[in-house]
Chains A and B, each alone.
Chain A
């Protein structure tokens, strides 16, 4: 029997639990030569701000053991370009689209989310955990009250659309912050964003990145991500999109077992641009081989006491 990959994520029916992590998959179109976008559970697009953002000075990426640092700094073409071009292009291709929103003020989050909802996205992800910007980002998501205020503003702007609050593990306790967001109307969570990090160029005796600090991603952060998913699932039981270092089917299953309903692939796309679709097919084979009827059987299964 063919296993059922379909998942229901905060009321949304997705054909499978494999999504893309914001900022690593552009606006989806960049990956069209490698991936049939329609096959993905959903495409989560690069974080969008009201106005275009230039981003940080180069170098913006550097490799670290089993991971990488980036300090892109939310470079994006701004709300108008995304709502008028990229979202319609993706909708035309019948792709499920999650829009990641960012801003420097609570009001900006609300305005961007409103317009993207109008443009027809299927869900909103609220990025309050970017370590690479001076205002907004992690400064918001490390405080429960501010996270609640951003969540409430976005919720008011988008009506019943699913709203996922994307958190890291820095600044405050992830369970406490997630709890505050839940009370303010979050449908679920995206866990985790990058961790702050720094790399040194020994010869030049200075930091490698132009922005000095960056966000750590890739396999190196997977245990931290699993820990965050585990704790938030245990305490809140709201839907979770798990991410951090996913490069193979086993990683996907680990996140599901910890309590993620869906997962997002980030840095893994850079190593293999076709990874997302390979994971969908691989997950189906893995479930069939184990005689598991559907993905939902796995979600949170590691929490069952023996």
Chain B
């Protein structure tokens, strides 16, 4: 559904990186980790389309929903300029989220803002009494924007930065290779495509544990109608296209054909 949600906080987390919180109790109640929103960034016809953003967390009691985003273009720049009290038109929650289990052991591998949907997941997995280890990588320590919040969830986590300014020096996949993957029920991952591809290769080497990845693709409708957000996956009779917005954004890593 679409909502006119009041912006409650807008906070700069790092250069070009913001967290925006808005009041949308229906979304807060129904959202599942891995789901996303289609956000209108302008009241005019340019930018035209909604922008997909992952749900970073929700607050049931206060009816709040949070997103974390990086300014990369016109739409996200307009979003960053929005002031408190203004209304934001959001459509969602959309898509199929991560598999949720109880009494399990899980590894979470996040690259950059891939941490946004994964934070929500970790929060829920912890609340369900699971054991979770997080591998969190970014360019530098300033870009590990959700590390303090993560610490607040009291999960085991290790970090990696390209320049070694925090934790391991290298990518999060290098870190995982170095540390070794603990025995887990499911590996969950989100991040830039090169990271996910490298992760896929590493996981295959260690016998391909069950893995779920959250993917991004340019979207038209966000609700499964336009076939705009195609991702190539293995079908029963060869490769087929699935829709990131409606069949995903979470896919089994084995299913995805990386190109």
Q: Which residues of A contact B (CB under 8 A)?
A: 23-26, 30-31, 33-34, 46, 54-55, 57-63, 65-68, 70, 72, 75, 218-219, 247, 267, 269-274
Contacts and interface: CB of A to CB of B under 8 A. Distances in A.
Contacts of B1: 33-34
A68 B51 CA distance: 13
B31 to A, nearest CB: 15
Given A26-B225, A34-B1, A57-B232, 11 more contacts: A26-B224, A55-B241, A62-B218, A65-B46, A70-B226, A70-B228, A72-B227, A267-B48, A267-B220, A271-B40, A273-B221
B192 interface: no
A75 B229 CA distance: 12
Given A60-B218, A72-B228, A272 B2 contact: yes
Given A68-B49, A75-B230, A75-B241, A61 B2 contact: no
12 contacts: A30-B224, A34-B2, A57-B230, A58-B231, A60-B228, A61-B218, A65-B46, A67-B48, A70-B220, A70-B228, A270-B221, A272-B2
Contacts, number: 98
Contact of B47 (A60, A63, A270): A63
A156 B226 CA distance: 31
B197 to A, nearest CB: 15
Contacts of B246: 30
Interface in B44-89: 45-50
A252 to B, nearest CB: 15
A270 B227 contact: no
Contacts of A274: 2
Contact of A273 (B45, B47, B91): B91
B137 interface: no
Contacts of B255: none
Given A34-B1, A58-B231, A267-B48, A23 B226 contact: yes
Contacts of A67: 48
B172 interface: no
A152 B184 CA distance: 63
